[in-house]
Structure 1
Amino acid sequence: KGGKWKELDKKALGWLFINAFVGYSLPMAMYYYGLHDTTASYGVIFSGLTPLFTFVLSILLGMETLRLKSKEGSAKVVGALVCFGGALLISLYNGKELHLWSPVIRGITKSSNGVAGGCHHLRGTLLLLGDCICYAFWYPIQVKVLKVYPWKHWSSVLTCALGGLQTCAIGIFLRRDKLAWQVGWNIQLLTIVYSAALGTAAKYWLNLYAVEKRGPVFPPMFSTLSIVFTMVLGALLLGESLTVGSLLGSALVFSGLYMYLYGKAKEIHVNTISCSSNEKLQAQPTHNSKCEDRRFGP
């Protein structure tokens, strides 16, 4: 009883603070101001960079193995590159427009993708790049957090609480006028509630669960699907036109994701067979063995 709080020592609290800063308050501020100086479609490009950066970081930190000579290793690398290429194709190439249906929600003015949101385009690019790098570092940090504080639910609660305090401090420092803090009963309040419940709390818990089960590269590989879902929902709800480039890019994203998942599944299968073979060869379990003996525990 109370084990969740007994595990919360200074080391665990320190990693949770870093986790909240790198994965919550800092990237949120950088992404917001990056979009202010660029466009939404330009920001989508950098969301496609996150899985590639996370893959490289995980290899450098020894959390992922790069086995180019094996089928599973080659499938993972090629899948990550194809997924990244598909995200770039959606963002950079349009082609012929396809108007397939009328919008469900009418009367909404769609902004042009070709006009920049601000006059500091270089600053916005650097901010979006910083946001992408922060998220790339955030996934390997989850592995460390799970080692020092394995309670996923409370870890998500503390991360959101610490991140909220950090973001509040940044907001007070940057915006001190009262109008910026006023919230009414409108779409703004609905957006805040949705972002807090699903875009933050649920996302952090699901990411922690996926990192624990499959490693730091597995969750960001699915972030490229958000580009596809945004494109489809924009076409269905707002009547935004689909393009040949978006359809081709979506096909590449799904193909790359399938290749990566295939390589990851084969890698897990090979490791399982290798561990089983080692258990049969050993008469007694040793402390140096990387496999777990089911009779005697890890």
Structure 2
Amino acid sequence: MAVVEGGGNKKAALVAESVALPASMVLVQLFSIVLVLLSKLALNTGMRPFVLLAYRNIIGAAAIAPLAFIFERKARKIPNLVEWGWISINATFGVILAMGLYYFGLRGTNATYSVVFLNLIPIVTSIIAILLRAEKLMLTKWPGKMKFFGILVCVGGTMVVSLFKGKMLHNPWPTHLLRPHTQGAATPAVHHSMVAGTLFLCGSCLGYAFWFIIQVRLAKVFPFKYWATTLTCLSGSLQAFVIGILIDPDKSAWRLNWDLQLLTVVYSGVFNTGVAFLLMSWAVKRRGPIYPSMFNSLAMIATVIMDSALLGTSLFLGSIVGTLLVILGLYAFLWGKGKELQEAMAAAAAAKSASDKEDAVNGDEVGGRELEVRRGDEIA
């Protein structure tokens, strides 16, 4: 009876996890959608990108630090000089280059356009890893072919979004709730050219790609992910503060009031750095590194709709076609990447099993020899 109850509890836990995992990833995408829209509004009201970065990462560090105290309380809390160096480099690429350039690109373009580049991050990361020979592209197998096909389609979709507008589609929304507010408070800095914004977004993709590669090295040097994230946020906040002061020493730019800018800082730090990090870590542990990226298309589609409905961004045929191509290419790439990870895990498991069998055989041989020696001693 106890066995049946134990089996029932395990089955119920698996069912609950199968529901909770996709629900948590949908929630992460919802956090991302709201973050992009809030950040766009805050930047339109004149908030400086490095001000947003500095305050966001302070809040993010405060949100992650309790997790470090709970789950890694026995870990070494003070890094040495080498570890601090890798943490600082991690902050430079992950905060200053990846997030900072994205904010500049978002300020010069719009939410719909910028979210396309967020979905290119896995593609760009893989390309950089292939160029650095940290990853191989096996075109002789189907997974490698699908990855290559996905890369080509994503690049083509991005070019369509960037270079081809096409016919402007009829906007079905009767009103735009946030457009009057953003138009009234916008500054001339909002109206950067699309070319400059595109370059910033491309630079952001490169920053994210190198950031993911650097995190692999950081995990080997300092294998405490919560403490590493907390210290990376603090280092990134300090770097953003120094760069922001050098670019714009005006003290009024750093003053936060009880308004949209403060809401954006608190929301991004707590939900996008704290809660989203925890949910994604859990999903990666249970389903692997590809799983969170499978839900990225939800953010793309929802951002297009909300950007048009709330901010009144015009929709063009080229944007819709390019976005669909990016989604198609992303899923083709993720399918190939997932199959390669499965094959690598199967090969590693087979190698471990063969090694265990060889150790068992060697152990039996050694045991047999020892037994023969003992018998010889007894006869003598």
TM-score for both structures, normalised by structure 2:
0.61
- Maintained 8 Å contact 1:78/1:256: yes
* Equivalent residue, structure 2, for 1:290: none
1:89 maps to which of 143, 155, 160 = 160
Unmatched 5+ residue regions in structure 1? 287-298
Structure 2 residue runs without a partner (length 5+): 1-71, 361-380
What's the CA shift for 1:220?
7.5
1:9 and 2:80 are equivalent in the alignment: yes
Bigger mean CA offset, 164-173 vs 25-34: 25-34
Residue by residue over 1:125-171, the C-alpha shift from the partner in whole angstroms, topping out at 9 and shown as x without a partner, is 65554433222211101111111222222221111111111111112
CA contact (8 A) 2:256 2:262 kept: yes
Task: Provide the residue aligned with 2:180 in structure 1.
Answer: 108
Q: 1:272 maps to what in 2?
A: 345
Following superposition of structure 1 onto structure 2, how do residues 153-172 of structure 1 map, counting pairs within 5 Å? 153-172=226-245
**1:68 alignment partner AA:** L
C-alpha displacement of 1:69: 0.7
Deviations 1:13-64 (A, max 9, x none): 221111011111244444455566x434776675565444322211133332
| 3-state DSSP of counterpart to 1:184 | coil
Alignment of 1:132-281 (within 5 A): 132-202=205-275, 226-279=299-352, 281=354
CA distance in 2, matches of 1:263, 1:34: 30
What is the root-mean-square deviation of aligned Cα atoms in Å? 3.7
Say which of 106, 109, 133 aligns to 1:39: 109
Question: Is this contact kept in 2: 1:160–1:201, CA < 8 A?
Answer: no
Contact map agreement 2:120 2:154 (CA 8 A) in 1: no
Q: Secondary structure at the residue paired with 1:242?
A: coil
Q: How many residues align?
A: 281
- Aligned identity (percent) is 38
Which of 141, 149, 157 aligns to 1:70? It is 141
Deviation at 1:265, TM superposition (A): 2.3
Larger radius of gyration: 2
Counterpart in 2 of 1:19?
A: 90
Instruction: From the two aligned structures, give the one with the greater helix fraction.
Output: 2
Partner of 2:375: none
- Which residue pairs with 2:26 in the alignment? none
TM score, norm. by length of structure 1: 0.75
Give the SS at the match of 2:358.
Answer: coil
Cα separation, partners in 2 of 1:116 and 1:92, compared to 1, 3 Å: farther
Pick closer, same or farther for the CA change 1:100–1:118 going to 2, 3 Å: closer
Per-residue deviation at 1:209? 7.1
